[in-house]
Amino acid sequence: MPARRKDQPAGHEQLGQLLHVVAKSWRHELDRRLKPLGLTRTKWLALILMTRSGGGITQRSLAEKMEIGQPAMVALLDRLEKDELIRRNPMPGDRRASSLELTPAGKKLISKIEVVAHQLREEILAGFSVRELQTAGDVLARMKAKLEAFP
């Protein structure tokens, strides 16, 4: 194992693992709280990503964002469409592509997801100062930018 540089705090080697565990635990708790709404992680994640896209996201783009293959994406979209949460719209000029949009029922469900997610976020972040949260956000944003700059 490489020696720790003097300018690095003890324990920084576990930072990646800690980030993973926190993110995993956060998702797990959100899964638990959204289960009464009939949502699995893949369903709520797809709906959230569709909402954040601003509308008109393609099936291919959603699959890439979710890091799942096309067969799994088709099955997921079939379930969401069956539940009347989304609608697939043909893309002009490309018969193979579909633009995805939330139905009114999907939008209503997103509102419920956001309430649950907001409550969880408030509970997790309670007790941290504004300065601590700003610092954490700044550090994570810089890490993300560095990672995105890799080829």
- Please state the domain count of the chain: 1
pTM: 0.82
The neighbouring-strand residues paired with 74 are none
> Helix, strand, or coil here: 87?
strand
Judged against a pLDDT cut of 80, whether residue 80 lies above it is answered with yes
Q: Which residue has the tokens 């309670």?
A: 126
Distance from C-alpha of 64 to C-alpha of 68, rounded to nearest angstrom: 7
Residue 64: domain span: 38-149
For residue 54, being part of any structural domain is answered with yes
Among the residue ranges 18-27, 44-53, 54-63, 108-117, the one predicted with the least confidence is 54-63
**pLDDT grade, residue 3 (50/70/90)?**
low
For residue 143, being part of any structural domain is answered with yes
For residue 107, being part of any structural domain is answered with yes
For residue 97, being part of any structural domain is answered with yes
Q: What is the structure's pLDDT at 11?
A: 65
Residue of 3 and 66 predicted with greater confidence: 66
82: domain CATH number? 1.10.10.10
Q: Which residue has the tokens 């592509």?
A: 97
Q: If you average pLDDT over every residue of the chain, what do you get?
A: 91
For residue 99, being part of any structural domain is answered with yes
For residue 63, being part of any structural domain is answered with yes
For residue 144, being part of any structural domain is answered with yes
Name residues whose C-beta falls within 8 Å of residue 46's C-beta, 6 or more positions apart in sequence. 62, 66, 76, 77, 80
Name residues whose C-beta falls within 8 Å of residue 61's C-beta, 6 or more positions apart in sequence. 53
- Type of residue at 148: E
Residue 59 structure tokens: 């099936």
Judged against a pLDDT cut of 80, whether residue 64 lies above it is answered with yes
List, for residues 92-143, the tens digit of each pLDDT value: 877 777 899 999 999 999 999 999 999 999 999 999 999 999 999 999 999 9
Contact by Cβ (8 Å): 22, 108: no
Give the residue among 97, 78, 94 at the shortest CA–CA distance from 86.
Answer: 78
